[in-house]
Amino acid sequence: HGRLPSGRPGLVYGYRVHGPWAPHDGHRYNPAKVVLDPYAREIVGHYDGSDLFLGRNPAQPDRPDPRDNAAVALKARVAVPLAPVAPSRQRVEAGARVLYELHVRGQTRLHPAVPAELQGTYAGLAHPAVLDHLQNLGITTLSLLPVQHRADEERLLKMGLTNYWGYTTIGWFAPETRYWSGRPGTTPATEFRAMADAVHARGMELVIDVVYNHSAETDELGPTLSMRGIDNALYYHLRADDRALYENWTGCGNCLDFSQPRVVQLCMDSLRHWVTELGVDGFRFDLATVLARRQGGAFDPRAPFFAAAAQDPVLANALWIAEPWDIGMGGYRVGEFPPGWLEWNDRFRDTQRAFWLQRGSVSRGEFAQRFTASSDRFDHDGRAPMASVNFITAHDGFTLRDLVSYDAKHNEANGEDNRDGTSQNFSRNCGAEGDTDDAAILAERARLQRALLATLLLSQGTPMLLAGNETGQTQQGNNNAYCQDSPLTWLDWPGADADLMDFVRLLLALRREAEPLRSVQWWPAAPAEGVPSLQWRTPEGGSLSADDWQRSDRQALAILFDAPSPAPCWLVLVNAGAEPKTFVLPAGEWTRVLASDELGSAGDTSSPLPKATLPPSSVWVART
């Protein structure tokens, strides 16, 4: 520990750390390089990819670089502490939560109601017109892509690109300065805090995506910016066969070592800072499996980080969301995080995409399993259905519109000859690759978007929309637009699909009204008499046989949420097939409240008839 009595707000400083240069023993000390305090609340300077940031000698990689980089190094600035956040904020009920993943810059960069000087900033996100849209839509929880200070990869900088998504962080306490408006009298931190306060004033929650699994220092050829120059052997997982090399379970060149108490402490201190000073309500942990890997790489569900998180009084009420995988051996861990955690459920994403867009590839049983919160993954150790974060699209992959407009990725703009990004998209272009003026193709794409959105927002679990799902956003087939800070990724508000926005608003209102759709209890396989139950039926009105469940060539089914009087019963009819399907309705008079094939359909159609016919690619909802 050290103390600098004269270290008042405004002081800019960095560290020179002395020690051995012995990469094969894991040590990369180089006092010629000024390194950033990992606890920096404000950061000055900018990493530009220059070889002055290298700890190694570019001409002799096994030797330290003797050049002093103090003039260009990232440095910390002592910040004025912010007033503590009020601890009594009301939280959103688990069953009511609707996540909305967004990018701070992309959300408002083209928003016509936001003043030009605020577009793409924290202040822009706090603009009343932006929050009005989200609140009116029915969103409860904003989930921001990374907002911690980042350093873009040298490779991207040489191509004139940036890591737009922000998954190359280096300052875990400091808000990214590129999203700050620069207005006099503000700092990145004060502007972020004001945005958080504005979100809370609307009764919404604020979650941020955090990247503690790796740092912007990348692999052994990367820059020395902070932790590498302070204690490389402590902060990072190094390979046992050669400690000059890094484990790379992240695909980003290095992995932080959460088996080390000081790494866990640094992370927990950072999380508390974002909660107590910056007003954050929760966190989405990128590649969260890394945080639970022991020395040697084994995943441990009782890892030190989980224990620290569970017992921290400041973070007791925070929302914890895991991306439950990494690319290392045994890295896929969906459903294995501790009770209280939510997890991104890629099984839901892939199943529902394939069910609607790859006809005949998904059984009705698999559809039903994902529709009811994936109990095969999450129904254990007292975990609730809301642990499953359901989504159709996220930042990583096609937009919803592109999902029904492209059979293949088109990532040429990323500079990797279209090699990057997944090729397993479960997408369908409906007859033309990309933009078209064919009315029939456009109508089918619109129907499929609405059917996918209906499936997402009627399913049990915690739904997550990607910003632009509701506006018809396209990235022209780029399914890995991590490096595209341009109109390609900024939300096109002038071109927004008003009908689609109305449909999403209707769906979310329906979800709020229909309590069974957001049940926080698992549906029993054999419910007791007189209690709410969920029943699966064939279009003919009967129960599904074992063969019915397993067949993937039958893509229509009915879902009855039965309830004792006077509570209403709810009926969801699904037809993912290519032909109209007639359903025999349960006894009673049903009022249709949603038909995904008809724009603006609502509760003005009652059907005392015994049957209803659904068009292809459609969802129908009714109540008694």
Is the bond leading into 494 cis (omega within 30 degrees of zero)?
no
At 598, the pLDDT band (50, 70, 90 cuts) reads confident
- pLDDT, tens only, 278-310: 999 999 999 999 999 999 999 999 999 999 999
Instruction: Kindly state the average pLDDT of the residues 211-222.
Output: 98
DSSP category for residue 402: H
Q: Which residues of 553-574 are buried (b: 16+ CB within 10 A; e: fewer)?
A: ebbbbbbbbbbeeeeebbbbbb
- pLDDT, tens only, 463-492: 999 999 999 999 999 999 999 999 999 999
Task: Tell me the CA distances in angstroms from 370 to 95, 351, 367, 378, 573, one per residue in order.
Answer: 17, 7, 5, 11, 16
> What was the pLDDT predicted at 603?
46
> What was the pLDDT predicted at 40?
98
> What was the pLDDT predicted at 88?
66
> What was the pLDDT predicted at 607?
54
Domains in the chain (CATH in brackets) are 527-623 (2.60.40.1180)
Instruction: Kindly state the average pLDDT of the residues 103-122.
Output: 99
Q: Is the pTM of this model over 0.95?
A: yes
At 208, the pLDDT band (50, 70, 90 cuts) reads very high
> What was the pLDDT predicted at 5?
83
> What was the pLDDT predicted at 530?
73
> What was the pLDDT predicted at 527?
72
Distance CA 163, CA 8 (A): 33
> What was the pLDDT predicted at 428?
98
> What was the pLDDT predicted at 192?
99
Active site residues: 286, 323
- pLDDT, tens only, 132-150: 999 999 999 999 999 999 9
> What was the pLDDT predicted at 609?
66
Distance CA 592, CA 462 (A): 25
Burial of 486 (0-12, 13-18, 19+ CB in 10 A): middle
Instruction: Kindly state the average pLDDT of the residues 541-552.
Output: 93
Instruction: Kindly state the average pLDDT of the residues 204-215.
Output: 99
Instruction: Kindly state the average pLDDT of the residues 347-366.
Output: 96
> What was the pLDDT predicted at 529?
76
> What was the pLDDT predicted at 600?
53
Structure-model confidence comparison of residues 61 and 109, the more confident one: 109
Q: Beta strands 556-562 and 570-575: pairing type?
A: antiparallel
User: What does residue 143 show for φ and ψ, rounded to 5 degrees?
Assistant: -120, 105
User: What's the chain's average pLDDT?
Assistant: 96
Sign of CA dihedral 397, 402, 408, 411: negative
> What was the pLDDT predicted at 615?
96
- pLDDT, tens only, 411-450: 999 999 999 999 999 999 999 999 999 999 999 999 999 9
| pLDDT(610) > 80 | yes
DSSP category for residue 89: P
Sign of CA dihedral 197, 198, 202, 207: negative
Distance CA 154, CA 12 (A): 25
Instruction: Kindly state the average pLDDT of the residues 188-204.
Output: 98
User: What does residue 101 show for φ and ψ, rounded to 5 degrees?
Assistant: -85, 130
At 320, the pLDDT band (50, 70, 90 cuts) reads very high
The HSE-up count of residue 450 (CA atoms within 13 Å, CB side) is 32
